[in-house]
Chains A and B, each alone.
Chain A
């Protein structure tokens, strides 16, 4: 029998380590996966950083040539780049705001003691497990100007239109598809948070004479803040990656009206074969994501400090 050397078998701290005997497995268990992750996550990332400092048009040059900050300068002075940042931000803000308000409403409805609750919860999972590319196809089919089912019904009230024909309406359509796919996700996550609040808290507030609005404002929201932060963070980070919907519904058009940053990076790298410039653009997407994550984590920390 193996005995741990010189350590008491049962430590006192709650985060104590399980003490295994001498074993060769532990390093293998941990370091092989980490080495793989290093190879497929970190190395490519560093290479992207390097590429962003080079000039490399595939099929024209065989190897990258170091160019310093040329790509970054071109990017920061390009109107198309700033436009794509704006599109990206409008898309993210628009979809996440709608998903959050609608999702919170749904979560509150689902948190009531109603019949069919389990049925609703199961049904609402369907959109979010779909491939985004399929969601895009479904909506493209339904939104067609001439033979789409949505226009068929809107025609009765004279509201039919070519949804993807103008910039603002095309962008609104992209938001609609995102809202359709991910509002239930937000709702189910918030519902999980709501269910962690004990009923007694609400009952106590009710006894104290608080109305539904006051309960929501002064009981529900404060207790839900940690969940709310996580939901917003996850949705914002995922929304920044918007791609399949643009690819299927608008291809960035009309013109460049729906050309979000992520899509522009793809175009530059893989359709115009400009590896260096594409790398610089994709790093901006990443910087945005990381910055947002940091803001949220810091907020979370500060709030934890208040408690």
Chain B
């Protein structure tokens, strides 16, 4: 390579780094600013001058838990999210395993059906759920939210997990079968331990979906089972918005997500596409 083209490449790379730094500022600033605002007093948070240097206070966080019942909503989000993860994995992982390992008639149709549930807009099934829940007394219950969250998370689990299973050599299964393992034995003792990173990635993706969802809680939850996204709009955000408190609530909701996204960095993008990139 000639030295001039090399120099051009170096200049190009520095320029690229500068541009990317500018983009980082654009994509990070709102999150940063939310966190900063959460540490401000109400007067400062609503001042027309955006102070960046000030004496930070945890007053907003205190008021979230003491004056508001944010703690209860946070707990709701956590319980509902975890229950959704457990049920999605219980239902989705075995199905993903069969779809990855076995050939049978209609398999293509099953895969297409599972994938197509990503295409379904939530509004398309929200009305029947709402009506059924009124009958069954499931409006504003934790169970009701968990069930409605399964509508897209079971298929998400099946897709992502079958992708991970596909990467594990079948010879291992076959060896275990020769050694006398049943299907459950193969799955539990051989395949799942090897798919552990995939399993945790899937668990985190499902948790994200449940944790972030706003539409379904809005439709089928009220106060008792309200998750944080719903609570932020209804109880904190209606009239006379207390921005400091909202930003504190948002920061607490965001923090675990940022940690998770770093944990599953490698798989996040592939996971979010539900294995669509494979094909």
**B37 to chain A: closest residue by CB:** A141
Q: A275, B127: Cβ atoms under 8 Å?
A: yes
Rounded to whole angstroms, the CA-CA distance of A233 and B148 in the bound complex is 25
Q: Nearest chain A CB to B95's CB is how many angstroms away? A: 4
A290 to B116, CA, bound (A): 8
Instruction: Give the Cβ gap from A34 to chain B, nearest Cβ, in Å.
Output: 7
Chain B contact residues: over half helix, strand or loop, or mixed? Answer: helix
Check B75 for interface membership: any CB of A closer than 8 A: no
Do the beta carbons of B233 and A230 come within 8 Å of each other?
A: no
Residues of A1-21 at the interface with B, using a CB-CB cut-off of 8 Å, are 1-2, 9-10, 15-21
A26 beta carbon closer than 8 Å to chain B: yes
A44 contacts which of B101, B129, B174, B211 (Cβ < 8 Å)?
B129
Question: A residues bordering B, Cβ < 8 Å?
Answer: 1-2, 9-10, 15-21, 23, 25-26, 28-30, 32-34, 36-37, 40-41, 43-45, 47-48, 51, 106, 109-110, 112-116, 120-135, 137-139, 141-142, 146-147, 149, 152, 180, 183-185, 188-189, 192-193, 227, 230, 233-234, 237, 240-241, 243-244, 247-248, 262, 265-266, 269-270, 275, 278-279, 282-283, 285-286, 289-290, 293
Contacts of A290 in B (CB 8 A): 116, 119
Q: Is B86 an interface residue (CB 8 A)?
A: no
User: Which of A109, A131, A265, A275 has the most chain B CB atoms closer than 10 A to its own CB?
Assistant: A131
Cβ contact within 8 Å between A237 and B183 = no
- Taking a contact as CB atoms under 8 Å apart, the answer to whether A128 and B272 are in contact is yes
B95 near A40: Cβ-Cβ < 8 Å: no
Contacts of B272 in A (CB 8 A): 128, 185
Whether the pair A244, B214 counts as a contact (CB closer than 8 A) is: yes
Other 9 A-B pairs with CB < 8 A, given A47-B131, A113-B13, A244-B214: A40-B148, A48-B127, A129-B208, A129-B257, A134-B232, A138-B33, A241-B121, A243-B215, A269-B126
User: Which residues of chain B are within 8 angstroms of A43 by Cβ–Cβ distance?
Assistant: 128
Residue contact A17 to B103, C-beta cutoff 8 Å: yes
Interface string of B242-279 (1 = CB under 8 A from A): 01001100100110011011100100111011001100
- Checking A1, A2, A18, A138 against B170 with a beta-carbon cut-off of 8 angstroms, the contacting residue is A18
Interface centre among A120, A123, A135, A192 (most CB of B within 10 A): A123
* Interface of A, helix, strand, loop or mixed by DSSP: helix
Q: Do A180 and B30 touch (CB < 8 A)?
A: yes
Chain B residues near A48 (CB-CB < 8 A): 124-125, 127-128
In the assembled complex, the Cα of A130 lies from the Cα of B232 at a distance in Å of: 14
- Please state if A30 and B13 are interface contacts (CB–CB under 8 Å): no
Name the one of B27, B127, B184, B213 contacting A269, with C-beta atoms under 8 angstroms: B127
B91 in complex: contacting residue of A21, A33, A234, A269, CB < 8 Å? A33
Which among B98, B182, B260, B276 has the greatest number of chain A C-beta atoms within 10 A? B98
| B163 interfacial by beta-carbon distance below 8 Å | no
Tell me, rounded to whole Å, the shortest Cβ–Cβ distance linking B20 to chain A. Answer: 5
A2 CB contacts on chain B under 8 angstroms: 177, 180, 182
Interface residues of B toward A: which range?
Answer: 35 or more
Known: A17-B102, A237-B118. A120 touches B182 (CB 8 A): no
Q: B48–A146 contact, CB under 8 A? A: yes
Is the CB–CB distance between A121 and B123 below 8 Å? no
A37 pairs with B183, CB closer than 8 A: no
Any chain A CB within 8 A of the CB of B158?
A: yes
Across the interface, A185 reaches (CB within 8 A) one of B47, B214, B269, namely: B269
Contact between chains at A112 and B99 (CB < 8 Å): no
CA distance A191 to B50 in the complex (A): 36
Distance of A16 Cα from B100 Cα, bound (Å) = 10
Q: Which of A133, A149, A227 sits near B229, CB closer than 8 Å?
A: A133
> Are B154 and A23 within 8 A (Cβ)?
no
> When each residue 199-227 of chain B gets 1 if its CB lies under 8 Å from chain A and 0 otherwise, what string results?
00000000010011111001100000000
Chain B residues positioned under 8 Å from A230 (CB to CB)? 273, 276-277
